[in-house]
Amino acid sequence: MTYNEQNIFARILRGELPAIKVYEDDRTLAFMDIMPQAEGHTLVIPKTAAVTLLDLPAEDAAYTIQIVQKVARAIEKALDKKGIILMQLSGEEAGQTVPHVHFHLIPESLHQLRQHAGQMGDQEHIKRLAEKIKAAIASE
Ligand code: AMP
């Protein structure tokens, strides 16, 4: 699938748009979802320009999943949660709204989720959660 360099996550990666970051290395970035489906909703993205999981080279996918695990562990620890949803929407037909591959981590029951990309969260509250998650990652 053709990659649009102007998509929101590409712009976040280039530093053109702000994000509430919890982890970054040379291959991945993790940041808070601004319209969380539950408290602690976090996104992990590879820096590779790929639209869907199927466009992502296998080695980038494998590396990104390690970071997904790292961030998931930190979310559970930082927010004292048990159980986490890992969601990955590939393609508009599946409901994907941002065309840069990303993994959603949502520490909540499937039956309690708010609407997908429905409503802006309280950004100050989200920043406080991000600080806790960041600290948990740093202490791993
Ligand atoms: P998807 O529909 O799977 O592509 O998910 C895109 C996600 O990105 C949604 O959960 C949105 O709430 C979230 N989102 C959109 N814009 C931003 C942004 N600027 N920063 C953080 N999250 C965003």
Binding site membership of 89 for ligand 1 (Cβ less than 6 Å): yes
User: What global pTM score does this model have?
Assistant: 0.98
Q: Could you read off the pLDDT of 12-35 as tens digits, one per residue? A: 999 999 999 999 999 999 999 999
Q: Does 1 fall in a domain? A: no
Domain-embedded: residue 2? no
CATH value at residue 51: 3.30.428.10
pLDDT, tens digit, for every residue of 91-124? 999 999 999 999 999 999 999 999 999 999 999 9
- Pairing label, strands 28-32, 103-106: unpaired
Beta bridge partners of 44: 30, 103
> Is residue 3 assigned to a domain?
no
Find the domain containing 107 and state its range: 8-138
Distance 35 CA to ligand 1 centre (A): 7
Residue 30 makes CB contacts below 8 A (sequence gap 6+) with 21, 22, 23, 24, 42, 43, 44, 45, 67, 71
Tell whether 74 is covered by a domain.
yes
Ligand 1: nearest atom to the Cα of 36: 12
Please give the distance, rounded to the nearest whole angstrom, from the Cα atom of residue 114 to the centre of ligand 1: 14
Provide the domain count of the chain. 1
Q: What is the pLDDT of residues 51-102, one digit of tens each?
A: 999 999 999 999 999 999 999 999 999 999 999 999 999 999 999 999 999 9
